[in-house]
Amino acid sequence: MSRIVYVNGEYLPEEDAKISIFDRGFLMADGVYEVTSILDGKLIDFPGHAKRLERSLGELDMANPVTMDELLAIHRALVAKNDIVEGLVYLQITRGAPGDRDFAFPDPAETPSTIVLFTQNKPGLADSPAAKKGTKVISIEDIRWGRRDIKTVQLLYPSMGKMMAKKAGCDDAWMVEDGFVTEGTSNNAYIVKGGKIITRELSTDILHGITRAAVLRLAAEAQMEVEERNFTIDEAKQADEAFTTSASAFVMPVVEIDGVALGDGTPGAIAKRLREIYLEESRKTAI
């Protein structure tokens, strides 16, 4: 049985889903997206994702075709229709299909936004083998556009970064700009030194991670010291441990950077504890 997906107000088998070739998401990467994790059949951090979606749409002057209540109902319907216990819901909204290609934005009164959602079944999402052994990252130059705080579908360079890491026998890449780490290809980056968690502060240089916000709040509640500032790759290589956060991987330990092992080369105590706390609290507050 194929997945049931959502396209512009309809629930359809995935093989019947269609989008116009003139859709600006396809032609111009003129769209935004969100990914919400599912644990125990419930949505993790949904209010945060919904709020960030509204912000992304607002920054791009793009119309939202649904209310947040409607969006929640669609998420829940897809989880139920596809019987997802652990997995993801992917959401994408584009500026729509005006009927021809043009650099100028179409009038939103005449061209409605396109909205698409689908699920991905990921059994064992919370009990990830990668989290037990840790991941290895390389560093690459950050050459993305300047508004990384908007969660757009412009993901070509992050995809290339993932492939660079794969070719190097690693799991991911941390991007570096003006000598400082910005973030991972699909996650926020952290190092730990002397028990202190260090991560780049929020700005237009990085995505305002929903998992990032939750993890930093939980770290503060656990009386862990957090410092939001820039750090270099050389500083990262000398760290006691490192980790990343994202909606789909939660808290993921990093054990090697550019071939340099951190600590004893295994996931650090702080990263492991934060993952435990995050999963525990997320399950309690899931909707």
Catalytic residues: 151
Structure-token pair, residue 167: 């070719």
Structure-token pair, residue 168: 């190097």
Residue with tokens 């079944």: 121
- Count of CB atoms situated within 10 Å of the CB of 238: 13
Structure-token pair, residue 261: 């092992």
> Please, which contacts does 273-281 make with residues 24 or more away whose CB atoms are closer than 8 Å?
273/222, 274/215, 274/218, 274/219, 274/224, 274/243, 275/131, 275/250, 275/251, 277/218, 277/222, 278/211, 278/214, 278/215, 278/218, 278/250, 278/251, 279/39, 279/126, 279/250, 281/214, 281/218
CB 243 within 8 A of CB 137: no
